[in-house]
Amino acid sequence: MTSVSTFNPPIRTLMGPGPSDVSPRVLEALSRPTIGHLDPRFVEMMEEVKGLLQSAFQTNNTMTMPVSAPGSAGMESCFANLVEPGDKVIVCQNGVFGGRMKENVIRCGGEAVMVEDAWGTVVDPAKVEDALKANPDAKILAFVHAETSTGAQSDAATLCKLAQDHDCMTIVDAVTSLGGTPVLVDEWGVDAIYSGTQKCLSCVPGLSPVSFSDKALDVIKNRESPVQSWFLDLNLVMGYWGSGAQRTYHHTAPVNSLYALHESLRILQEEGLENAWARHEKNHQALKAGLEAMGIGFIVKDGDRLPQLNAVTVPEGVDEAAVRKALLEDFNLEIGAGLGALAGKVWRIGLMGHASNQKNVMLCLSALEAVLGQMKAPISKGVALDAAMAVYA
- Determine if 250 is a binding residue for its own copies (CB under 8 A): yes
Question: How many whole angstroms separate alpha carbon 120 and alpha carbon 339?
Answer: 12
* Pair 31, 22: CB distance under 8 Å: no
* C-beta of 162 vs 355, nearer to its own copies: 355
Nearer to its own copies, 9 or 317 (CB): 9
Please tell me whether residue 183 binds its own copies under the rule CB under 8 A: no
Q: Beta strand 333-337 with 13-15: parallel, antiparallel or unpaired?
A: parallel
Please, which residue, 126 or 245, has the CB nearer to its own copies? 245
CB of 281 to its own copies, least distance (A): 24
User: CB of 345: closest distance to its own copies in angstroms?
Assistant: 16
Under the binding rule (CB under 8 A), the answer on residue 69 touching its own copies is yes
Please work out the total of residues on this chain that contact its own copies, with binding judged by CB under 8 A. 83
Of 101-140, binders to its own copies (CB under 8 A) are 103-104, 106-108
Count, in order, helices (H) and strands (E) of the chain.
Answer: 14, 13
Reference 145, options 110, 182, 105; nearest CA is 182
Beta carbon of residue 386, minimum distance to its own copies (angstroms, whole number): 30
**Residues 121, 269, 285, 357: which binds its own copies (CB under 8 A)?**
269
Q: Which is nearer to its own copies, 79 or 188 (CB)?
A: 79
Q: In sequence order, what E strands does the chain have?
A: 13-15, 63-67, 88-93, 111-116, 140-144, 146-147, 152-153, 169-173, 192-194, 208-212, 309-313, 333-337, 346-350
CB of 103 to its own copies, least distance (A): 5
The DSSP code sequence of 219-272 is HHHT-SS--S-TTT-HHHHHHHHSSSS----SS---HHHHHHHHHHHHHHHHH-
Q: Which of 113, 253, 327, 364 binds its own copies (CB under 8 A)?
A: 253
Compute the distance between CA of residue 110 and CA of residue 86 in angstroms, rounded to an integer.
5
Residue from 181, 159, 151, 172 nearest 305 by CA = 151
User: 3-class SS at 327?
Assistant: helix
C-beta of 15: minimal distance to its own copies in Å?
A: 10
If one asks whether residue 257 binds its own copies (CB under 8 A), the answer comes out as: yes
Rule CB under 8 A: which of 2-41 touch its own copies?
Answer: 3-4, 6-12, 14, 16, 18-19, 21-22, 27-37, 39-41
Q: Which listed residue (215, 251, 359, 381) binds its own copies by CB under 8 A?
A: 251
